[in-house]
Amino acid sequence: MQPAVRYGLAELAAGAPPRHVLAEVASISYLMGMGFRYEEALRMVEMWEDRGFLRSEESEETTEK
């Protein structure tokens, strides 16, 4: 899981919303636990993000109101 953790720390350092980073890291870690290599898992999670399956913190706040 170290690559996923390092990815998350880099995302936080770049200013990404913590809730979003946690969702990404959890998703990557889940996929790695299911047998995907880190690179594959990251690619899949980024694809989910591009397709709107991982919402940003801002869109969650808008939806909750």
Q: Residues 25-61: pLDDT tens digits? A: 999 999 999 999 999 999 999 999 999 988 765 555 5
Any idea which residue has 């808008």 for tokens? 62
Q: What is the DSSP string of 4-60?
A: HHHHHHHHHHTT--HHHHHHHHHHHHHHHHTT--HHHHHHHHHHHHHTTSS--HHHH
Map out the domains of the chain as residue ranges: 2-64
Q: How far is the C-alpha of 22 from the C-alpha of 18, rounded, in Å?
A: 6
Q: Is 63 helix (H, G, I), strand (E, B) or coil?
A: helix
Q: How far is the C-alpha of 49 from the C-alpha of 65, rounded, in Å?
A: 22
- Does this model's pTM top 0.85? My answer is no
pLDDT at 65 over 50: no
